[in-house]
Amino acid sequence: MKTKKIALLDNNDSFTYNIVDYLRRLETIDLRVFKTNKLSIADLKRFDSIIISPGPGLPKDFPVLFSVLEKYHDSKPVLGICLGHQAIGAFYGAKCRPVFPVIHGQAHAVKITKSSRLFDSVPKTFKAGLYHSWAIDRDTVSEELEITAVSESKVIMAVASKKYAVFGIQFHPESYLTENGFTILKNFAEM
Amino acid sequence: MDMKDFISGANTLGESRTPFIFVIDFELTKPFLCTVRNALKKNIFFKIGKIGNYRKSLKRDQKISLDISPISYKKYKVAFDKVVQQILEGNTYLLNLTFPTEIKTEYRLKEFFHFSRAPYKLFFNEQFIVFSPECFVKTQSDYIYSYPMKGTINAALPDAARLILENKKEEWEHNTIVDLIRNDLALVSKDITVTKFRFLSEIFTSQKNLLQVSSEIRGMLPTNWQETIGEILIKLLPAGSISGAPKQKTLQIIKQVEQTNRGYFSGIFGIFDGENIDSAVTIRFIEKNGDGLQFRSGGGITANSNPLHEYNEMIDKVYVPIR
């Protein structure tokens, strides 16, 4: 029986269906994909939780993400991946900074610095696939967020709202390169 | 034939399990479809995996020398720099940049077709020929497989296999394409698995032997997928290995920097044998251009690419594989 309805917001990305392929292995999840350029906020009302996909560019290129977060951050679990993570950062007032050299298609060690429901059954340090040329600037992270994981070079790899079930991860749980990626998505899906 | 006709035509043939040949261009504007039985009548010769419709190729032992005129490095560098700027801005992680190279030769298209050795060959009605080493997708008992190929090295270099497998830049680029192809297969199938990761194969050319790095990715198709074969093919296009990621944004950038349409080059061609698909990416491609011939080639650009190296790789790929 399907018990959880999840909306996956696709920012024209080419990794979105890797997320879909993982989540449809969970029999209790009813997943639907929405293209963010055709999304109306009301579509999301009947869903239990929301995942914001990776994507090209910067959060400001996808203004609808801010309306989604404004409307649902305090009532539905939200998981943002890569661009989605940066959108969550920006929603809570943080800024993005360029990463140089850019990191595309590389597996780096990610270290969990603060326990989080998202990382249940995940070891403290694990390898994760990265595709990013921007990152959340540590100096701009507001009081409402906490940093829950960092990379070897101290780049922010995960944030969480202190008050609500809102999670951002910079690495790609859906990547072939990521250990425990399926567990992380499952943890979120079952929240 | 437009895409709509292609899809319904392919679905009908798939449903009746009738063998057919398909050729689709990069821009998805001029798809071609004909039954295997009618291919010769349309002046189409092919060898796709084990299936072909012509007699054995001509033997040829001497090298085939081509007189080639690639675009200037200066021109290439302008396009390359634009791509790198887009990578830094986060709009693309990997973009396959290609250009035509004019070639002068005493041979005709048909002769090149017969001389060349490759797992996938096509002669398309005096318009173009392909001798492709790269499988796009194939199916077997309700599984679909893709074999993205990224990473090439001269096999004669000392320790070539180790050099290419331990090269970080090549590995990162390969990782990107594996994640992209996993995504694409998940559009049409489920339970996606990387069944082989970064394996080597050798290619024989008239100049030198090359080692290529590939992976094998598998997904499970619904039963009776043959009835929706048209949709399955279109959802997978353009092929990830010759476009880039994220695909949609990368395609816009390709259009801006390459400026001309690619046409059938870097599209796909293949066969439905009545039960299964086997198909190739349309690379290693020579087409008629007015009175002359042009060869099209290119390579993947990432944040770590060196422009001169990429330019030389594009020219290195202008070859005819003979035994």
Q: Tell me: the pLDDT tens digits for A3-29?
A: 899 999 999 999 999 999 999 999 999
- Look at A85-89, A144-148, B57-61 and tell me which has the smallest mean pLDDT: B57-61
Determine, for residues B182 and A101 on separate chains, whether the beta-carbon distance falls below 8 Å: no
pLDDT above 70 covers a percentage of chain A that reads 99
B41-to-B38, B50, B114, B236, B281 alpha-carbon distances in Å:
5, 21, 18, 29, 24
Q: Does B211 touch chain A (CB under 8 A)?
A: no
Q: How much is the pLDDT for B66?
A: 81
Task: Say how far apart CA A186 and CA B225 lie, in whole Å.
Answer: 29
- Tell me the angle at which helices B307-316 and B73-88 cross, rounded to the nearest 10 degrees: 120
Number of domains in chain A: 1
Q: CB count, 10 Å around CB of A27?
A: 9
Q: How far is A128 from chain B (nearest CA, A)?
A: 12
- Tell me the angle at which helices A16-23 and A181-189 cross, rounded to the nearest 10 degrees: 70
Q: How much is the pLDDT for A119?
A: 97
In contact, A50 and A65? CB cutoff 8 Å? no
CB neighbours of A130 closer than 8 A, spacing ≥ 6? A103, A104, A105, A106, A107, A108, A151, A170, A171, A172
Q: Name the B residues in 38-77 with CB < 8 Å from any A CB.
A: none
In contact, A182 and A171? CB cutoff 8 Å? no
Q: DSSP letter at B223? A: T
In contact, A11 and A84? CB cutoff 8 Å? yes
Range of the domain at A142: 4-189
Q: Name the A residues in 83-142 with CB < 8 Å from any B CB.
A: 98, 100-102, 104-107, 129, 131-134
Q: How much is the pLDDT for B320?
A: 82
**Domain of residue A125, CATH code:** 3.40.50.880
Contacts of A56 in chain B (CB under 8 A): 90-92, 246, 249
* Tokens matching residue A8: 């996956």
Q: How large is the average pLDDT for residues A74-103?
A: 96
Q: How much is the pLDDT for B174?
A: 95
Residue B292 DSSP SS3: strand
Task: Say how far apart CA A145 and CA B254 lie, in whole Å.
Answer: 39
Q: Catalogue the long-range contacts made by B305-311 (C-beta closer than 8 Å, 24 or more residues apart).
A: B305/B80, B305/B84, B305/B169, B307/B73, B307/B76, B307/B77, B307/B80, B307/B81, B308/B73, B310/B76, B310/B80, B310/B97, B311/B73, B311/B76, B311/B77, B311/B80
Active site residue A174: yes
- Cis peptide preceding A101, ω within 30 of 0: yes
Its sign, for the CA torsion B138, B141, B144, B148, is negative
- Cis peptide preceding B238, ω within 30 of 0: yes
Determine, for residues B246 and A20 on separate chains, whether the beta-carbon distance falls below 8 Å: no
Determine, for residues A21 and B182 on separate chains, whether the beta-carbon distance falls below 8 Å: yes
Q: How much is the pLDDT for A82?
A: 97
Helix residue spans in chain B (DSSP H): 3-15, 73-88, 109-115, 160-166, 168-186, 229-235, 247-258, 307-316
CA B218 to chain centre: 18
Determine, for residues A16 and B191 on separate chains, whether the beta-carbon distance falls below 8 Å: no
Select from B261, B286, B147, B307 the least CA-distant residue to B213: B147
Task: Say how far apart CA B70 and CA B68 lie, in whole Å.
Answer: 6
Q: How far is A110 from chain B (nearest CA, A)?
A: 17
Q: CB count, 10 Å around CB of B185?
A: 28
To test the contact with chain A by mutation, choose from B92, B94, B175 the residue with the greatest count of A C-beta atoms within 10 A, namely B175
Q: Which residues pair with B194 in a beta bridge?
A: B217
Q: How much is the pLDDT for B322?
A: 72
Q: How much is the pLDDT for B219?
A: 98
Mean of pLDDT over chain A: 96
Please tell me which residue, A100 or B191, carries the higher pLDDT value: B191
Domain segments of chain B: what residues?
3-316
H or E segment and range at residue B131 = strand B128-132
Determine, for residues A17 and B92 on separate chains, whether the beta-carbon distance falls below 8 Å: no
Q: How much is the pLDDT for A122?
A: 97
Its sign, for the CA torsion B154, B158, B164, B168, is negative
Angle CA B192–B198–B204, to nearest 5: 125
Q: How much is the pLDDT for A163?
A: 97
CB neighbours of B182 closer than 8 A, spacing ≥ 6? A17, A18, A21, A176, B192, B194, B217
Q: How much is the pLDDT for B282?
A: 97
Q: Which of A12, A20, A24 sits opposite B249 (nearest CB)?
A: A12
Determine, for residues A106 and B89 on separate chains, whether the beta-carbon distance falls below 8 Å: no
pLDDT per residue rounded down to tens, chain B (323 residues): 899 999 999 999 999 999 999 999 999 999 999 999 999 999 999 999 889 998 866 666 666 778 899 999 999 999 999 999 999 988 998 999 999 999 998 888 988 898 888 999 999 999 999 999 999 999 998 999 999 988 888 899 999 999 999 999 999 999 999 999 999 999 999 999 999 999 999 887 767 788 999 999 999 999 999 999 999 999 999 999 999 999 999 999 999 999 999 999 999 999 999 999 999 999 999 999 888 999 999 999 998 899 999 999 999 888 887 75
Q: Does B93 touch chain A (CB under 8 A)?
A: yes
Contacts of B248 in chain A (CB under 8 A): 12, 14
Q: How much is the pLDDT for B153?
A: 86
Q: How far is B12 from chain A (nearest CA, A)?
A: 28
Pick the CATH number of B3-316 from 3.40.190.10, 1.20.1050.10, 1.10.20.10, 3.60.120.10: 3.60.120.10
Determine, for residues A104 and B192 on separate chains, whether the beta-carbon distance falls below 8 Å: no
Residue in the block written with tokens 């269906």: A17
* Tokens matching residue B189: 């199938």
A53-to-B51, B179, B318 alpha-carbon distances in Å:
42, 14, 39
